[in-house]
Structure 1
Amino acid sequence: MFQPLIRYFLASLLLLPGLCVFGQATESTNALVQPFDTYRRQALQEKLFVHTDQSFYLIGENLWFKLYYVDGSFHKPLDVSKVAYLELLDAEQKSVLQTKVSLTTNGGNGSLFLPASLQSGTYRLRAYTNWMKNFSADFFFEKNLTIVNPFKPLGLPLLNEVAEYDIQFFPEGGNLVQGLASKVAFKVADASGQGKAVRGWVLNGQNDTLSRFTSHKFGIGSFMVTPTQGTTFRVLIRDEKGRTFTRPLPAIQPQGYTMQLTDAGADQLKITVSTNVDSPSTVYLFAHTRQAIKAAEMRSIQRETTFLLDRKALGEGISHLTIFNANRQPVCERLYFKRPTQQLTLSLKPDQNQYVSRAKVSIDASVLAPTMKSSQAALSMAVYRIDSLAPASSGSILSYLWMTSDLQGTIESPEYYLQSETAEIAQATDNLMLTHGWRRFRWNDVLSTSSQQAAQQPLLRFIPEVNGPIIQGTVTDPASGKPMPNIQTYLSTPGKPVRLFVSHSDSAGRIKFEMQDFYGPKTVIVQTNPADSLAKLTITSPFVDAPPAPKLPALTITESESDQLLSRSVAMQVQSTYWGDRALQYTYPTVDSAAFYGRPSESYLLDAYTRFPRMEEVLREYVLGVMPRKRQDHFRLNVLNGPYRTIFENAPLVMMDGVPVFDMDKIIEFSPLKIKQLDVITNFYYMSPTLFNGIISFMTYKGDLAGFPLDTRLVKLEYDGLQLERQFYSPRYDSAKLLASRLPDARTLLYWNPNLQTNAQGKGHIEFYTSDQPGTYLVEVNGLTKDGVAGSQQVRFEVKNRPE
């Protein structure tokens, strides 16, 4: 069942244009290029960006979000995974809210209601797909949000007068090597992750100063050092308040390689590789930009060699430059950032700079650049009040795609590095590349990929959900706990329409059910055939366990902000009291209302026939395709094989509201007065991987089983399907009566539109009304074109109280 999905997914990877632009490799470098390209084709990287309506919330409010879904190499919208998983993690990395969101080429959108059970604090919003679970959780989208529960004490931590700085050192290329000069980058940040300005000294064991340095931007800088044998090095750092800290340098390797990147002019980069390894022979330079190969070269080396790399050969964004030794083992690596030349330039023009309460706001949105055949772009827009509690940004898709998503750790002010380049910004960007290096794979995984493996299907545990959510579980022996292979299992969701899913457990006892049109909360029933009724069934959560992650910054609200917090709290309660019912409106998707087996051979609406008190009489009197028989005091239902006018020798599939039933005595004893409809399939019915000898489907009036006694050994649980789309409600004051309404309007979020589309000329127009809350409001837009060009824009306006 799932092999076609894998083939479809791999074919979609190959169809992505330009995934490998490197076309020439020498025989000596093929041992690097070929396995890397094989790995790239098997392991496409997906990226998700989540635009939230704000980054500060109170409990009782809704968190609105828009998901942008693109490939990791070229940032073009994808149409592979159809489900995204989004969850909110607390300070202990426990998931407190979870939801599943439908994905299309336009991404997805939804909302989360923030319940009163949440404590005040900083939370981590995380999003990923099923396919992304095959790789490190570092690939997941993450952002920090502040949530305050005004009805519980904040419990804020006492301010610590003693600075607790996180001080880290990063040798260029990865290691300090004895006798080889190296650039060492450093980063100094406080407990909240904010960089701190410092100056420092590199000292030897005799306290001689070997080097002096100062931080450049965001607490990041660099210095040069040459480790020597038998010398102990330490770094003395002093902050702006005069407090000093002493840290050791990273461990010094007795033998190895170093690399240093410099600007060689003429649009070229010079990579100098040094080594103290005895009798080295060759080294390789391998460069790729988000897995698109850009260069692969080999040089002989004695103590030092250089590579000249054309800057134009590198792709825009972050490139990885890796040095391999003669055995093709990675020995050095560093990042290089090439500023993108194209970004989505947006214009936002409100018709006024200042409005009164309950006034109409008109905004013209235009795509100004880049110049393409079409200026159409998918945009998401939020309009919300900003103050000292609510920061004036909820995240930029531009900085995330080009910067944050390809770097490790938290990046302070990523938008800074995407400004027009100056000498200061260029230096800060290079320092950032030295202190946040990482890659989206392990080289051992890449280089172990042989050509024989490339011809096989990739052995990945999680497949892409190309049609809808996949419910996964296991079948095990309850006594030994060992997996049980080749066990047939059934999953059903009682209700309308009738749905049934079948799966055989694999060699590891795993079962998978691909769900289509699976929306909202459902009751899920999973069972095996009676012959395997002792097997233990377990349904696993599709959400991943939170791996160890950087500590979330503590919530800091000063006493001077208490009035603003009170005002926001009152506004939230007013909206919940007076507008809560109007805000609970959902858009229901259009789904196929037919049963999974389509048009039945026979269908009976029992109210149109004589009502008999026993089910046996109903089946005997007018249901032509079913033959009830009794053997050894137990009933058996046979189905006529219509095409051949014979009776199937084997038992048919019998269902009650889509739930398979194997005890026909229960069917016969069940009251026919509770049955609304009976369908019969009088031919073979194939549902991969199972062939049924006809189908008998009983349906109750409400599709809720109507008290039918199910087998006590089956697994029954409540399971959430895809989130139903909630409509954002915004009142209109387009008449004198509505304008004079005494119903309070305390909205601080005036407008949210996750699917704002521009026309072929790149124009869009938005209208909404202000509330009774005065203040400064921010209009924030993120957008993406079909060609993967991203952009963000902001504009502000003021709202004053309406004159009496």
Structure 2
Amino acid sequence: MKKTISLLFCLAVFCLPKVEGQVIIKSEEELQALKQTPLESLYLHQSSSILFPGEYLYYSIYCLNTRSLKMSNISQVAYVELLGEDGSKIFTNKIKLRRGMGQGDFFLPVDVPSGNYKLVAYTNWMKNAGSRQFFKSDLAVINPYRSDQSAILASEEEVQDSTTNVLSNLSTDSPVALLTDKDTYGNRERVELILKNYRGNLGFGTYSLSVRKLDDFKAPPQITATANAEEYSAKLKEVPNRVNSVVFIPEQRGELFSGRVVNANTGDPVKKEYIGVSLPGKDFQTKSALTDDKGNFVTYLNKPYNTDIAVLQLMDGNQSPHKYTIADLSDWDFDLKDFYNFKISVKDREAILERSLNNQLENAYFQVKPDTLKAAEVTDPFDGEIPLVFELEDYTRFGTLRETLVEVVEHVWVKKEDKDSYTFWVREPLEPLNSEYTAFPPLVTIDGILVPDHNSILDYDARSIKSIGVLRDRYVLGSKTYQGLVVLETLNGDYIDKVRKPSNGIIPLLKPSPEKEYYRPAYTEENSPEFARIPDFRTQLLWEPRLVVQSPEIPLPFYTSDVAGTYEIRLEGYTSYGKPISLQKIFTVSN
């Protein structure tokens, strides 16, 4: 498997014909190597199939190897989209996969009209089999804040009876079970829920759990993991492509970042040149990619980042105008059919009004009921090395960067290369202070943005620079070696304004959705007075996007809200042996 995936990466680097993350299969040997890498399928566990403005849709993703039917370790990124019947795209989320699983959510704004929608999930690798390989489920939106309800308003002949929305296709021989201490609870009462594993290793696995009030409408049916497994036979196990055809490559080393660069004046491709990619900020990243004869380039973003832009520029410092085009991996040709025909009628008026008011109250108190982001992985621009940092406020201020390097910064100097060209140099470790021997110039960044042309910043106003960090060890970017790293940070983080010029590309990035810890109140005797005045109209009582079972049981206590009704506890997931598990337990909350 590792050998196959390494070959895929080489194909991506040397044979990329377009900007959509594709390669051309040039030989039978390459084709057979590709066919050794299994395709994938996805299962998405969603919290609800009906959504109102002001509500969150929560979901967990399971990425499966279509041969082993276990969690896939091929793709590291998945995409989730909500699409309308008219082809409109309501949202696109990029989801990081860890050992085949990811999580995300989406807050529905008030500008999304009532209607029937499709929730679609896929990886770039799955595109080779077409949209039939994608996960697709139905979702209905009821937006009472818009006057036009024609998309879902039923005629007298279409009025449907209400339903309890109890799931079908549940597991009949499950190694795990959902246990509660009773079946009926009062408002704000603690529920003792236990996920019980009766069969040791056979129950070990990864699951997701939702506790939610059943809808008062005939909701679009949700797909269970066991029902999704019935579609395995329809999924392709290997790429169907042939020699000389185009194949989508998997995002196996992180996010695929590919594109094309041409001369903006002539349209000619920029051939065999290194492109510098900067993800600016304090925890910045820099990447380098070589263009091919058509100006195409590809690299991977394999570390966490917290910016929504990328800066692209030629590493030779060429200041001619250039046009950069970046692949949008969430762009695909879809022809979705068979949307669920969800309808409402006049008899649903009171239920719609009550749910809308509850949502408004919940959102009004969101500040005291916040979800929290999980601690994000920190990207170290110095890769574990410790730089020598000069905080310029601790020194006499000079007017230019050139003067500051001479008077303040140790081990860094400026050397004249020819008539009008100067380059930074960094003294190698263990070399004496008077030594100016070094084999390569350093890599220089300002606010995390690469500076290929050192000349351009010699007269930069040093009074706007906060600090200068120096790393003296050799630093490798792409296939090029640099003697050290010089990192400048401005006071206002505004160097990005200096690089907005025709020679560079400022490209928007779709950041991966952050992982969250979702709000769970705890009503105790001690905090009862504190919470007494805060309304609790939650209908989603608990959402656990990732439960790893490796023990006989997991306690999962939660509290009910002020909303009476029938609730479901729903567990979805897969054992470590690949067995799909779908469980549902019903309980009631009374006033």
Class of the TM-score when normalised by the shorter of the 2 chains: 0.7 to 0.9
- Give the 5 Å matches for 1:550-569: 550-569=337-356
Q: 1:732 to 1:563 in 2, by over 3 A?
A: same
Counterpart Cα distance in 1 of 2:74 and 2:237 = 20
2:396 partner letter: T
2:252 partner letter: V
> Displacement of 1:160 after TM fit?
7.9
Counterpart Cα distance in 1 of 2:239 and 2:455 = 58
**Aligned-partner SS, 2:528:** helix
Q: 1:650 to 1:383 in 2, by over 3 A?
A: closer
Q: Does 1:383 align with 2:173?
A: no
- Give the 5 Å matches for 1:55-204: 55-105=49-99, 107-157=101-151
- Residue equivalent to 1:279: none
Q: Please point out which of 531, 540, 546 is paired with 1:749.
A: 540
| Alignment check: 8 A CA contact 1:81 1:129 kept | yes
- Residue equivalent to 2:317: 530
**Aligned-partner SS, 1:618:** helix
> Displacement of 1:674 after TM fit?
2.4
> Displacement of 1:780 after TM fit?
0.8
Structure 2: which 5+ residue stretches go unaligned? Answer: 11-27, 159-168
- Note the aligned Cα RMSD (angstroms): 3.5
Q: 1:701 to 1:752 in 2, by over 3 A?
A: same
**C-alpha deviations, 1:184-219, integer Å up to 9, x for none?**
xxxxxxxxxxxxxxxxxxxxxxxxxxxxxxxxxxxx
Q: Does 1:592 align with 2:370?
A: no
Counterpart Cα distance in 1 of 2:499 and 2:201 = 63
Q: 1:567 to 1:733 in 2, by over 3 A?
A: same
Is the radius of gyration larger for structure 1 or structure 2?
1
- Residue equivalent to 1:6: 6
Q: 1:621 to 1:777 in 2, by over 3 A?
A: same
- Residue equivalent to 2:302: 516
**Aligned-partner SS, 2:557:** strand
1:604 partner letter: F
> Displacement of 1:499 after TM fit?
1.7
- Residue equivalent to 2:253: 467
Q: 1:710 to 1:3 in 2, by over 3 A?
A: farther
More relative contact order, 1 or 2 (CA 8 Å, 6+ apart): 2
Counterpart Cα distance in 2 of 1:392 and 1:709 = 50
1:668 partner letter: L
More displaced stretch, 790-799 vs 734-743: 734-743
- Give the 5 Å matches for 1:122-521: 122-157=116-151, 344-368=174-198, 371=199, 373-389=201-217, 391=219, 394-400=222-228, 402-407=229-234, 445=241, 461-478=247-264, 481=267, 483-521=269-307
Counterpart Cα distance in 1 of 2:208 and 2:52 = 22
- Residue equivalent to 1:225: none
> Displacement of 1:623 after TM fit?
2.7
**C-alpha deviations, 1:472-508, integer Å up to 9, x for none?**
2112344564543312111112211232111111244
| Alignment check: 8 A CA contact 2:175 2:202 kept | no
| Alignment check: 8 A CA contact 2:183 2:587 kept | yes
Q: Please point out which of 717, 720, 725 is paired with 2:510.
A: 720
2:541 partner letter: L
> Displacement of 1:71 after TM fit?
0.4
Q: 1:439 to 1:540 in 2, by over 3 A?
A: closer
Aligned length: 556
**C-alpha deviations, 1:13-49, integer Å up to 9, x for none?**
xxxxxxxxxxxxxxxxxxxxx99x9478434111211
Q: 1:640 to 1:800 in 2, by over 3 A?
A: closer
| Alignment check: 8 A CA contact 1:77 1:105 kept | yes
- Residue equivalent to 1:335: none
Counterpart Cα distance in 2 of 1:666 and 1:597 = 29
Q: 1:746 to 1:341 in 2, by over 3 A?
A: closer
1:559 partner letter: V
2:465 partner letter: I
> Displacement of 1:390 after TM fit?
6.0
2:470 partner letter: V
Q: Does 1:544 align with 2:544?
A: no
**Aligned-partner SS, 1:517:** coil
| Alignment check: 8 A CA contact 2:279 2:305 kept | no
- Give the 5 Å matches for 1:603-682: 603-629=389-415, 634=420, 636-640=422-426, 642=428, 645-647=435-437, 652-682=442-472
Q: 1:389 to 1:97 in 2, by over 3 A?
A: same
| Alignment check: 8 A CA contact 2:213 2:566 kept | yes
Counterpart Cα distance in 2 of 1:552 and 1:482 = 45
Counterpart Cα distance in 1 of 2:419 and 2:369 = 58
**Aligned-partner SS, 1:669:** coil
**TM-score w.r.t. structure 2 length?**
0.84
Q: 1:708 to 1:356 in 2, by over 3 A?
A: same
Counterpart Cα distance in 1 of 2:526 and 2:352 = 33
2:55 partner letter: E
More displaced stretch, 343-352 vs 45-54: 343-352
Counterpart Cα distance in 1 of 2:245 and 2:50 = 42
1:746 partner letter: F
More displaced stretch, 129-138 vs 697-706: 697-706
Counterpart Cα distance in 2 of 1:461 and 1:697 = 39
> Displacement of 1:518 after TM fit?
2.7
> Displacement of 1:139 after TM fit?
0.9
> Displacement of 1:593 after TM fit?
3.2
**Aligned-partner SS, 1:570:** helix
More displaced stretch, 391-400 vs 349-358: 391-400
1:608 partner letter: D
**Aligned-partner SS, 2:254:** coil
| Alignment check: 8 A CA contact 1:358 1:770 kept | yes
Q: 1:671 to 1:116 in 2, by over 3 A?
A: same
Q: 1:689 to 1:800 in 2, by over 3 A?
A: same
**C-alpha deviations, 1:648-684, integer Å up to 9, x for none?**
5875433212212244454233222222322335565
| Alignment check: 8 A CA contact 2:186 2:589 kept | yes
**C-alpha deviations, 1:348-376, integer Å up to 9, x for none?**
222111111111111222234xx564532
Structure 1: which 5+ residue stretches go unaligned? Answer: 11-33, 164-338, 408-437, 450-457
1:124 partner letter: K
Give the % identical residues: 25
Q: 1:392 to 1:592 in 2, by over 3 A?
A: same
| Alignment check: 8 A CA contact 2:70 2:578 kept | yes
Q: 1:9 to 1:636 in 2, by over 3 A?
A: closer
**C-alpha deviations, 1:402-453, integer Å up to 9, x for none?**
223544xxxxxxxxxxxxxxxxxxxxxxxxxxxxxx856787x4xx67xxxx
Counterpart Cα distance in 1 of 2:172 and 2:488 = 60
**C-alpha deviations, 1:221-256, integer Å up to 9, x for none?**
xxxxxxxxxxxxxxxxxxxxxxxxxxxxxxxxxxxx
Q: 1:710 to 1:616 in 2, by over 3 A?
A: farther
Q: 1:130 to 1:3 in 2, by over 3 A?
A: farther
**Aligned-partner SS, 1:642:** coil
Counterpart Cα distance in 1 of 2:488 and 2:253 = 28
**TM-score w.r.t. structure 1 length?**
0.63
Q: 1:3 to 1:509 in 2, by over 3 A?
A: farther
Counterpart Cα distance in 1 of 2:6 and 2:155 = 54
| Alignment check: 8 A CA contact 2:426 2:441 kept | no
Counterpart Cα distance in 1 of 2:471 and 2:527 = 60
| Alignment check: 8 A CA contact 1:638 1:648 kept | no
- Residue equivalent to 1:411: none
**Aligned-partner SS, 1:720:** coil
Counterpart Cα distance in 2 of 1:161 and 1:799 = 33
**C-alpha deviations, 1:101-145, integer Å up to 9, x for none?**
111126111211111121111111111122223331221111111
**C-alpha deviations, 1:560-595, integer Å up to 9, x for none?**
112111111111111001235532421132323343
Counterpart Cα distance in 2 of 1:711 and 1:9 = 32
